[in-house]
């Protein structure tokens, strides 16, 4: 976009709406918008929509209300539709590069959720989360597969329409990858999570709107805490006997409101 040494992009608009920009960058975005009424109108509409969505989803900590859920459905879809369509081409290119490695899942064996750990079977994306965790672990042992340590939530959202939760300050990102899944592009982050040890955070758009509080299940030698906020679902996965993974998932979910 012309007229600026550091061009303002759609990712900057998203960061402005999500309050993820530095004060200097916010000023640059506001200066840009002050001379472009069309873009300013769209950003203000996104700010309003986000506020309305937060109010509509306020029942997350209480009993969900059908009317609020339906309102949240409409609002979130309106906010995400354009960004999702705009990122499809970039995501398709990434998927081609990782698809061949993904086929290695045949060597992992079946992913079965323990019936003892959960009275009802968890969503299908939990299996993808465990598979992504195992794939990342495999990549760590391969010298030909370098880790991507740069974690940019704004870029991820711009390319995939997946909003990532805010990570605790003592968590260190070791690797960030975009993997294909049953539901489309997914985000897989390998993390050194302080006292929780090594774990992974998986995020995907499962194709439905819901608000699901964190639940913990066991699948094989892995434990997963999954939850959903709006149109994005998440899962924390660990192979350690970590009883705090459910609490960690709750803290991540709270940052999305």
Same structural domain for residues 113 and 216?
Answer: yes
The CA-atom distances, in angstroms, between 82 and each of 42, 46, 166, 203 are 11, 12, 23, 19
216: its two tokens: 């913990």
Same structural domain for residues 137 and 182?
Answer: yes
Domain extent, residue 59, equals: 10-80
The residue ranges of the chain whose pLDDT is under 50 are 1-2, 60-64, 82, 84-119
Taking the C-alpha atoms of residue 16 and residue 68, their distance in angstroms, rounded to an integer, is 26
Same structural domain for residues 73 and 128?
Answer: no
Residue 5, domain member (yes or no): no
Q: Indicate the residue among 50, 80, 110 that finishes a domain.
A: 80
The per-residue pLDDT for range 130-186, each reduced to its tens digit, is 999 999 988 888 988 888 889 999 999 999 999 999 999 999 999 999 999 888 999
- Number of domains into which the chain is organized: 2
Q: How many other CB atoms are found less than 10 A from the CB of residue 117?
A: 14
Q: What is the CATH number of the domain that holds 117?
A: 3.40.1000
Same structural domain for residues 52 and 110?
Answer: no
Q: Indicate the residue among 52, 80, 108 that finishes a domain.
A: 80
Residue 234, domain member (yes or no): yes
Same structural domain for residues 140 and 200?
Answer: yes
Same structural domain for residues 137 and 196?
Answer: yes
Q: How many other CB atoms are found less than 10 A from the CB of residue 170?
A: 10
Same structural domain for residues 119 and 216?
Answer: yes
Residue 248, domain member (yes or no): yes
Q: What is the pLDDT of residue 117?
A: 42
- Give kind and range of the element (H or E) at residue 153: helix 153-160
Q: Indicate the residue among 80, 110, 134 that finishes a domain.
A: 80
Residue 86, domain member (yes or no): no
Same structural domain for residues 151 and 188?
Answer: yes
Q: What is the pLDDT of residue 244?
A: 85
Q: What is the pLDDT of residue 115?
A: 41
pTM value surpassing 0.95: no
Q: How far apart are the first and last CA of the chain?
A: 31
Same structural domain for residues 101 and 217?
Answer: yes
CA atoms within 13 A on the CB side of 9: 11
Q: What is the pLDDT of residue 19?
A: 82
Same structural domain for residues 171 and 118?
Answer: yes
Residue 85, domain member (yes or no): no
Residue 90, domain member (yes or no): no
Same structural domain for residues 61 and 133?
Answer: no
Q: What is the pLDDT of residue 93?
A: 41
Q: What is the pLDDT of residue 5?
A: 62
Residue 134, domain member (yes or no): yes
Same structural domain for residues 124 and 234?
Answer: yes
Residue 120, domain member (yes or no): yes
């Amino acid at each position: 976009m012309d007229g600026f040494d550091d061009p303002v992009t759609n990712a900057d608009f998203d960061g402005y709406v999500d309050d993820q920009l530095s004060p200097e960058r916010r000023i640059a975005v506001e200066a840009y918008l002050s001379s472009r009424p069309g873009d300013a109108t769209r950003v203000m509409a996104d700010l309003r929509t986000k506020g309305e969505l937060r109010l509509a989803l306020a029942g997350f900590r209480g009993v969900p209300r059908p009317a609020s859920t339906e309102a949240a459905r409409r609002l979130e879809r309106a906010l995400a539709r354009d960004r999702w369509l705009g990122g499809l081409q970039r995501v398709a290119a990434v998927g081609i590069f990782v698809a061949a490695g993904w086929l290695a899942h045949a060597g992992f064996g079946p992913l079965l959720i323990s019936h003892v750990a959960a009275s009802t079977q968890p969503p299908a994306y939990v299996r993808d989360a465990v598979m992504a965790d195992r794939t990342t672990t495999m990549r760590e042992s391969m010298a030909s597969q370098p880790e991507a340590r740069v974690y940019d939530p704004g870029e991820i959202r711009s390319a995939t329409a997946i909003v990532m939760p805010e990570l605790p300050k003592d968590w260190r990102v070791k690797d960030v990858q975009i993997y294909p899944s049953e539901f489309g592009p997914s985000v897989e982050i390998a993390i050194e999570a302080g006292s929780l040890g090594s774990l992974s955070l998986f995020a995907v758009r499962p194709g439905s709107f819901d608000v699901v509080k964190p639940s913990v299940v066991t699948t094989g030698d892995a434990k997963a805490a999954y939850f959903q906020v709006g149109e994005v679902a998440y899962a924390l996965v660990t192979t350690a006997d970590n009883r705090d993974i459910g609490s960690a998932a709750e803290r991540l979910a709270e940052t999305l409101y």
